[in-house]
Structure 1
Amino acid sequence: MSKENKDYSKYFDFSGAKVLSEDEHGKRIRINGREINILSEPNHRQEKQRGKQSVEVLYDTELTEEFRSIGAGKHYIVYTYGCQMNEHDSETIKGLLEQMGYRATEDRKQADIILLNTCAIRENAEDKVFGELGHLKHLKTEKPDMLLGVCGCMSQEESVVNRILQKHGFVDLIFGTHNVHRLPHLIQEALFSKEMVVEVWSKEGDIVENLPKKREGLRGWVNIMYGCDKFCTYCIVPYTRGKERSRRPEDVIAEVRELARQGYKEITLLGQNVNAYGKDFEDIQYRFGDLMDDIHKIDIPRVRFTTSHPRDFDDHLIEVLAKGGNLVEHIHLPVQSGSSQVLKKMSRKYTRESYLELAHKIKKAIPNVAFTTDIIVGFPGETDEQFEETLSLVREVGYDSAYTFIYSPREGTPAAVMEDNVPMEVKSERLQRLNAAINEYSRKSNDRLLGSTVEVLVEGVSKNNDAMLSGRTRTNKLVHFEGSTDLVGSFVNVRITDTKTWYIKGNMIQDAVTASDAV
């Protein structure tokens, strides 16, 4: 542990805390009557650093026998907040727990360990987690031997760990995004020491292969890289997820081939900035377009990816995606704002004009492409004119759908200290107008499908009507139609008879879908 890491008082208010012991392995303290074993803690200054230290790839991750029986006869619950990356981390967490002998349950009173895998993107995500901790406190009082843990992106924030230590001393375990593979060791430590265990790595971990995963549903998430080097001024992700580290191509391809062998119909390649894949390789010239071209040759029906950054969307990638086949015609391309001035303040490092040029280039190469995006309104200093530029960009691109947000400051990011001079009522009004424009183009996009035949991967029974099935097209549009539940997991052809803003409806048919119809 570094000297700067050992100055714990710099990060946490430990007034009233008693130091029990301290050595090179960490520090044990007593605070509010609870003993805490701090193995390592989040350090925002370290999280900002981007050194050239090498990242190792670890393959020998098999659990030893001492860990395989810890959870025998016990049950777990994992609650997941946030993005697909968090969902994928939860698959690994569940896989590790089941290797330890734990079994899943939905009954909190039956659970022997409950983990909250958290998101730090927006303030309301943190509020949800702390609200949930308040509910779980009563359960912990009734069942003191139950382990309660907080992990994920929130755990990488100094202020969050401080708040848990001071106000939620009933939590047993805190770990971050870089040391998920250490979960069995941390559980063992928490069980046997009866102390709160804190281990959050501020320096990025290595790439750990061959970890178990418990996948559920029809889709397979495949993480191809970790972290982000973009440092957009509003975003906490570079600090909570670390620098960009790409998995080796042969490991990614092997995982995709295994999912194809297992019969998965669809996979999604994941990365905080997925199309920056390979930029960190020093021994080979192999980028995201090369990876997609190789996966294009694997016998798996649908391949998606998220999330891409406009700066890294090169011509080679467009050329590969235009080949079609199992590479679907859906691209999520976050824009965040339609104003070049706001984009500069966000440190997005592209302009309105370059984004539009890229969008038109993609549409020319893939004429039936569906575009989705992320947009923030009310960024510090955003004027009425700049917001109008966002609206005009939405109309020019004609997005099929979008995730829209009111700007939420995140402590530790450059934008958090900018003057936030846009009143909340103005932000809310802008969000309503933006959503109205998005809805207009979403409906127009759906209307164009009236009378056409689409290929649908059947996901299950409709949430609102037990007599209907629902599924997704290649362009990720939601389709409802009548059919039997034995069709779940298969591809069917549906002729569209009715369109709404958020979904389309149709009748299942048996004739084949042509390449031009498959959307």
Structure 2
Amino acid sequence: MSTHFEGSTFCIHTFGCQMNKHDSERVAGMLEGLGSLPVASIEEADIVVFLTCCVREAADTRLYGQVASMKNIAVREGSPFDKRYIAVGGCIGQRDGEKLTEQLPHLDVVFGTHNLGSLPGLLSSAIENRRQAVEVLAEGTEFSSALPADREHTWAAWLPITVGCNNFCSYCIVPYVRGREKSRPLEDIAEEARRYGEAGVKEITLLGQNVNSYGRDLYGEPRFADVLDAVDASGVERLRFATSHPKDLTDEVIARFGTLRSLMPALHLPVQSGSNRILAAMNRRYTREHYLGLIEKLRAVVPDIALSTDIIVGFPGETEEDFMETYRLVEEVGYGQVFTFIYSKREGTPAAAMEDDTPREVIQERFDRLVDLVQRKAWEANQGELDTIVPVLIEGVSKRDELVLAGKSPKNQTVHAPVPAGLRPEDLIGTIVPVAIDEARTWYLSGTVVDA
């Protein structure tokens, strides 16, 4: 069968972190370069690519369910192929490799986190040879940023600065599937940021499993503050980054929140637990006191900085007092957003071997208590925006009303505002507009565009 992709269609399903979202843009760029066209649904697609996450068990279940269900979906009329080709990449591809093809015999291609660029060749091989193609490398030599891309938005860009992770938190599978940490040369990052600035990109988000340790492998010491300086110099209007490990957040980086024009007053700083005993069991390598000291330093530089975090409830051996240490930390910090998770055992991690006899209903009750607190603190945090004018990067329209704009504030809050009279949504999408805030809810702000 011909490996010519002209006339074919593809769709990409992306699970998990921002790095996977960045990789999905690279996959789209490669497939479009082959002559394939993007479509919105599996039913319309001749090629379906899953970029997967294996941080939590639910992601495995979701992937296996979706791939299995595709056996019953007919090939679209007009397809150049006599079957639909299915590819799985990302962390589950890296972790399971050949095993995926055994468990999902109608799967055609498996690739890992280190060989994104192999996808076109693997697809061609599967089509031409009519058999499954699998390639999972132990480590990679290039960043996926070198591949062609079809960015989701012209006004926003992901910019990876590191891949992999050296932290080995006891609950986390990421170092095993993403590999050891590798940093891009500073000059490459600065050049990519410069190109984005010249292309009119409004917002750059720097990516890495731990951006704060950037450069340790290349330069012998972390140089993340230098990265922030270089990207700020590109002229981009908004700069964000994720994810930030507390043990490596330096005073130099904290100071940049007060000196860099483009660095937004928002920081995602995962704490995971407020108990020193549980933090030690998680191998997080900082204490509650150290973490709260970082919050104090950040607020000394930017008093109203918006803080978000990740928290795991039900880590093996967590007692009621351990949980209450976390609860009290959330009360003290007053996060604008908290991503809460019930612990999910990941085979191959040290925590998977830890004994825990805490009943599931006890863990669920603690989780529900924490969620109630998180919602109350988020509502309180948003009240400070009432009767202010906030610059909002318009990203699209509300899912409920196409005449209501939706965007992000500098603090990464979702903001809604009616489309001004005489304008269309597309006139404002990708621009930064001032919005007078007259309503503050738990998860969003509402107002009116002024001086549009």
Q: 1:120 to 1:140 in 2, by over 3 A?
A: farther
TM-score (norm 1): 0.82
Q: Deviations over 1:343-369 (max 9, x none)?
A: 000000000010001111111111121
- Equivalent in the alignment of 2:440: 499
The Cα of 1:179 is off from its aligned counterpart by 0.5
Counterpart residue number, 1:43: none
Alignment of 1:120-159 (within 5 A): 120-139=54-73, 144-158=82-96
> Within the alignment, does 1:335 sit opposite 2:276 as a pair?
no
Distance 1:345 1:440, change over 3 A: same
Shift of 1:131: 0.7
Structure 1 distance, partners of 2:144, 2:436, is: 45
Instruction: Give the deviation of 1:510 after TM superposition.
Output: 2.1
* Distance (Å, rounded) in 1 between the aligned partners of 2:148 and 2:60: 28
Please give the secondary structure, in 2, of the residue aligned with 1:404.
Answer: strand
Maintained 8 Å contact 1:222/1:269: yes
**CA distance, structure 1, for counterparts of residue 317 and residue 222 of structure 2:** 40
Q: Map of 1:355-504 to 2, 5 A cutoff?
A: 355-483=291-419, 484=423, 485=425, 486-504=427-445
Letter paired with 2:67:
L
Within 5 Å, which residues of 2 pair with 1:48-197?
70-139=4-73, 144-158=82-96, 161-162=98-99, 164-197=100-133
Residue 255 (structure 1) shift: 1.1
Q: 1:31-85: CA deviations, max 9, x gaps?
A: xxxxxxxxxxxxxxxxxxxxxxxxxxxxxxxxxxxx9x83122111111111111
8 A Cα contact 1:495 1:507, kept in partner: yes
Q: Is the 8 A contact 1:207 1:245 kept in 2?
A: no
Letter in 1 for 2:198: R
- Residues in 1 aligned to 2:140 and 2:417: alpha-carbon distance in whole angstroms: 46
Task: Assess if the C-alpha contact under 8 Å between 2:26 and 2:144 holds in 1.
Answer: no
Deviation of 1:161 (Å):
4.3
CA distance in 2, matches of 1:296, 1:117: 30
Q: Is the 8 A contact 2:229 2:260 kept in 1?
A: no
Q: Secondary structure at the match of 1:280?
A: helix
Describe the superposition over 1:274-320 as per-residue Cα deviations: whole angstroms up to 9, x where unpaired.
Answer: 111111114x7661001101212221110100000001100111112
Pairwise CA distance, 1:272: 0.8
Contact 1:236 1:413 in 2 (8 A): yes
What is aligned with 2:182? 245
Query: What is the deviation of 1:257?
Result: 1.2
**Residue 230 of structure 1: how far off its partner (Å):** 0.1
State the secondary structure of the residue aligned to 2:298: helix
Letter in structure 2 aligned against 1:489:
G
Q: Which residue of 2 aligns with 1:514?
A: none
Within 2, Cα distance between the matches of 1:390 and 1:110?
47
SS in 1 for 2:146: coil
Could you tell me which residue of structure 2 aligns to residue 17 of structure 1?
A: none
Matched, 1:257 2:194: yes
Secondary structure of the structure 2 residue equivalent to 1:481:
strand
**Partner Cα distance (1:349, 1:89) in 2:** 30
What TM-score comes out, normalization by structure 2 length?
0.94
Distance (Å, rounded) in 1 between the aligned partners of 2:235 and 2:205: 15
- Aligned sequence identity (%): 42
- CA offsets 1:392-417 (integer angstroms, 9 cap, x no match): 10011111111000000001000011
Q: Is the alpha carbon distance of 1:363 and 1:461 closer, same or farther for their aligned partners in structure 2, counting shifts above 3 Å?
A: same
Letter in 2 for 1:327: L
Shift of 1:335: 0.2
Q: CA deviation at 1:253?
A: 1.2
Q: 1:338 to 1:286 in 2, by over 3 A?
A: closer
Which residue identity does 1:245 align to in structure 2? K
Q: How far does the alpha carbon of each residue in 1:210-242 deviate from its partner, in whole angstroms, 9 at most, with x for none?
A: 310110124211111100000000000001100
Cα-Cα RMSD: 1.8
AA aligned to 1:508 is: V
1:418 offset after TM fit, Å? 0.6
Letter paired with 1:178: H
Asked if 1:231 is matched to 2:168, the reply is: yes
Is the 2:385–2:437 Cα contact (8 Å) retained in structure 1? yes
Residues 213-228 of structure 1: matches in 2 within 5 Å? 213-217=149-153, 218-228=155-165
Gaps of 5+ in 2: none
Query: What amino acid maps onto 2:428 in structure 1?
Result: L
- The CA deviation at 1:324 is 3.8
Q: Structure 1: any 5+ residue segments left out of the alignment?
A: 1-66, 512-519
Distance in 1, Cα, partners of 2:139 & 2:160: 20
2:142 and 2:371 map into 1 onto residues whose CA distance is: 41
Q: Hey, what's the Cα distance between the residues in 2 that align with 1:373 and 1:466?
A: 31
Q: What per-residue deviation string (whole Å, max 9, x for no partner) do you get for residues 358-391 of structure 1?
A: 1111111111210000000000000000000001
Greater Cα radius of gyration, structure 1 or 2? 1
Q: Check conservation: 2:379, 2:442, Cα contact below 8 A.
A: yes
Cα distance in 1 between the residues matched to 2:82 and 2:50: 17
**Contact 1:204 1:243 survives alignment (8 Å):** no
CA gap of 1:466–1:79, structure 2 versus 1, over 3 A, is same
Question: Comparing 199-208 with 386-395, which one deviates more in the overlay?
Answer: 199-208
CA contact (8 A) 1:457 1:473 kept: yes
Of 408-417 and 69-78, deviating more is 69-78
